[in-house]
Structure 1
Amino acid sequence: MPLPRFDRLPAERRELILGVARRHFAEHGTEGASYNKIIEAAGVSKTAAYHYFDGREDLLTAVLDGVFERLLDALGPWVPARDEADFRAWFAGGSAALAAHLRDHPEDPALADAAIGRTHAGPWPRMVRRPGQPDGQRLGMIRTDVDHGLLVSATAAVIRAADAWALARMTTERVLPEAADFPEDGEAPAQLWCLLYGLWGGAVTAAATTAGEDRTDAR
């Protein structure tokens, strides 16, 4: 995290420094971006920089924390679901809002995976954690026969794969618009929902599994 002196800077100055750092990390990667080039581009001397951050990793942490918070803000708060339609509506709305945010903030998609990977669970996996998980299980939309940690990890893997797929489509659309095959609005969230619904629901319950084992034993 930034050192206390950084937090005492005017908000505009803090955002300028973090904005420059975000662009460099997005363009050159979290491993490839140069700390010295970042602070130079932000108009910060080396002496001042070490009053604001302990070093490159400290600055990177501040940038990724900011990206993660913006993703959560775009996703919006969890609203308890009354029924399956509510659950689906929240997913669709949150997915569309997040997709719009990523389109409007082109640096965030490049850093989203790193930002999410630093946390136990990212924005979408939060849906299968509390408070969304009890709603989903109560409605029969989230399975109970798989360990919670494994289900969250599997969900995160699906989300990351979908993010990479969407980002590749967005890049193709920008570079070769005549050859782009980017989904219509709402199609990408629908495909993601289809994958996750199969993962979460799967029509597999502990009872069904036990029944299958009993039938196998009987043979």
Structure 2
Amino acid sequence: MPRPRASRLDPERRQTLLDVAAEEFAEHGFDGASFNRILERAGFSKGVAYYYFEGKDDLYAAVLALTLEALAQRFGAWQRPPDADGFWRTLRERYFALTSHIINDERSARLLRSMSQARTHPKLQEAWLRFEGPLVAWFQRVLEDGRALGAVRADVPESLLLTSLMGIGQASDGWLLEQWAQKGAPALRKGAAQVFSLFEDLLTPRPVGLAPAKRR
């Protein structure tokens, strides 16, 4: 976590540091990024930087927090729709709004590609857990509302659905961003539609005695 005194850093200088750091982390990932290079480009001495941040991992966590905050604002707060059709329409709109945001913000896309390190890197696990908690809570509320509206299956435990949803989400995020990096925006849009269909297949209620329903 940034030291409490970081809030007293001049806002313009803080933004400069975070912008430079975001570019460095987006280009090189966490391990390949140079803390010294960030400080030199941002015009910070080591003494000043360490006064406000504990090190490279702390600065990365601050950059990651801003990136995810921007995505959360784009995704929007969740409010229960009036019915099952509205549930899927709202979820689809939010998902593809997020996809469009990533396509239009290359730096965020590159940062998100490197974010998988935060899940497994010893220095970043604490930071990732701070971000993961609100994300899990958001999806849990979506599942609860979906079940209440009859839009989400109730034949398996909600905890299993949540675990499966988060697992598919983490795996597909990495896959989608690789598609974007290798083939560009059209591949990302096509892949996003395929990923959303996986979510639909996982969550849509199964009519008794019939093949799994598929929503289009």
How many residues matched?
A: 197
Tell me by how many angstroms 1:189 deviates. 4.2
Equivalent residue letter for 1:67: T
1:139-218 matches, cutoff 5 A: 139-174=149-184, 182=187, 187-201=190-204, 203=206
Q: The residue matched to 1:143 in structure 2 has which SS?
A: coil
Higher helix share: 2
Tell me by how many angstroms 1:57 deviates. 1.5
Tell me by how many angstroms 1:72 deviates. 0.7
Deviations 1:144-196 (A, max 9, x none): 3434443223212222333333323322345xxxxx8626x6x5443222101
Tell me by how many angstroms 1:121 deviates. 5.2
Percent identity between the aligned chains? 34
Matched, 1:107 2:107: yes
Long gaps (5+) in structure 1: 175-179, 209-219
Is the alpha carbon distance of 1:109 and 1:181 closer, same or farther for their aligned partners in structure 2, counting shifts above 3 Å? closer
1:87-106 matches, cutoff 5 A: 87-106=87-106
Matched, 1:49 2:60: no
CA distance in 2, matches of 1:122, 1:153: 15
Q: TM-score, normalised by structure 2?
A: 0.78
CA distance in 2, matches of 1:107, 1:19: 10
Indicate the RMSD between aligned Cα atoms, in angstroms: 2.7
Match of 1:120 among 108, 112, 132: 132
Q: Which has the larger radius of gyration?
A: 1
CA distance in 1, matches of 2:34, 2:13: 20
Long gaps (5+) in structure 2: 120-127, 210-216
Is the alpha carbon distance of 1:45 and 1:22 closer, same or farther for their aligned partners in structure 2, counting shifts above 3 Å? same
Tell me by how many angstroms 1:51 deviates. 0.9
Is the alpha carbon distance of 1:20 and 1:199 closer, same or farther for their aligned partners in structure 2, counting shifts above 3 Å? same
